[in-house]
Amino acid sequence: MRILIVGSGGREHAIAWSLAKSASKPEIFVAPGNAGTKRIAVNVNLDSADQNGILDFVRESRVDLVIVGPEQPLVSGLADILRANGISVVGPSAGAARLEGSKAFSKDFMQRHGIPTASYRTFRAGQSDEAISFVRTQGAPIVVKASGLAAGKGAIVCMTLPEAEEAIQNLMVSQLLGEAANEVVIEAFLTGEEVSVFVLTDGIDYVTLAPAQDHKRIGEGDTGPNTGGMGAYAPAPVYSEEIDAEVRLKIIEPTLKGMRDEGSPFQGILFVGLMLTPDGPTVVEYNCRLGDPETQVVLPLMQADAVDVFKAIASGNVGQLSIGIHDGSAVCVVLASEGYPGPYLKGKVISGLEEGSTDGTVSIYHAGTAENDLGEIVTSGGRVLAVTAVSPTLEEALKLAYDRVEGITFEGAQFRRDIGLKGLARN
């Protein structure tokens, strides 16, 4: 079987890794991939936004299945084009991907279908004065979000009114995030713990992966600006069986039914970002794909053969799937470039990648990496590497991951030292 993964990050490397372990031994391509995927797959020099190029490659190379990793190609309709040409694909249509592509759409959708989410108002270009008046009426803390795609950096938690007014100014007047902030959603601040739940669905039936907790902010103690994610662990002990049952009944199933009823059935991977509030589980946001870095912990815990899983999603046979979750815990620690999530330099030589785990419990997933002219692996992005450890206990997994992180060096490397501590405290 020939499988193409679209994307270049740690998520795509983790997907490739899971497929490479399959008993069916598929031939794997990654477009465009990175220095890590090159070692277990064939990198294809195609941008994930090049829809025609991807379609041509799939036809010429007789690819059997396409897995779309990032959100932008899905929002732009890549899955639609592939399906229209008879190609099996894991990823929702552009209509269904609006759940991530437009926070304004997703908030209105949840309101229409009675799905619990924070109270909100949407403001459009030219309405910055109205937005500022609204936050002054509501008070702080409050959350200001760019409605469009912003690489995980569009949600600004404002603890004071001056911060909220500055966020509105930056998004709506200065347009620091460009067209992503043509609409801005301002919503109530929720308290509780966040959990990431991944729903594998063919639009009707679904299964879920292990619940995970991400660490979005750059600084320890959840300080500093938001990032794409600085680490994750799974399963999250705060997510009990009782909470899971409530989430299925009040969130997952109404979401899938609502999308079917509105003519855009969701076929792919629905990422439900939850806040476990005192009033119950509440949707913070939807995403239309696997998360990064959560993928790096939920896939290693999945018992089922990854090829079988992805084929079932694409072919509409999720009802026949049995996922299974391994006992134990998985931890992922992200190493990022100096300056991230702001401007950063590229081309820093990475050392210490060769000394890997001998028992298979530790994996290094590449994200922002490339090879230079000397064949050295160098940094090429903000988030550079994700070190994942799997062990019978969360405490052991944390030790394994951080021991391995300490052995990897590049100029300006930064990482958080408090990944998973919430889970450890609960355990």
* 368: amino acid identity, one letter: G
The crossing angle, in degrees rounded to 10, of helices 161-168 and 128-138 is: 160
- Name the one residue in this structure whose structure tokens are 């490739």: 16
What does pTM read for this prediction? Answer: 0.96
| Longest distance between any two alpha carbons in the chain, whole Å | 59
Percent of residues, the chain, with pLDDT higher than 90: 96
Q: pLDDT digit string (tens) for 120-160?
A: 999 999 999 999 999 999 999 999 999 999 877 789 999 99
> Binning pLDDT at 50, 70 and 90, where does residue 423 land?
very high
On the question of pLDDT at 388 being above 60, the answer is yes
Contact (Cβ atoms closer than 8 angstroms) between residue 69 and residue 29: no
- Which helix (H) or strand (E) covers residue 251, if one does? none
For 408, other C-beta atoms within 10 Å of its C-beta total 19
pLDDT at res. 152? 75
Q: pLDDT digit string (tens) for 154-194?
A: 899 999 999 999 999 999 999 999 999 999 999 999 999 99
pLDDT at res. 103? 97
Q: List the alpha helices (DSSP H) in 65-210.
A: 71-75, 78-84, 94-101, 103-112, 128-138, 161-168
pLDDT at res. 427? 79
Task: Name beta bridge partners: 370.
Answer: 378
Alpha-carbon separation of residue 113 from 107, 170, 220 (angstroms): 10, 32, 37
Q: What domains, with CATH codes, occur in the chain?
A: 2-94 (3.40.50.20), 126-181 (3.30.1490.20), 192-320 (3.30.470.20), 329-426 (3.90.600.10)
pLDDT at res. 153? 78
- Name the one residue in this structure whose structure tokens are 């109530």: 188
pLDDT at res. 311? 98
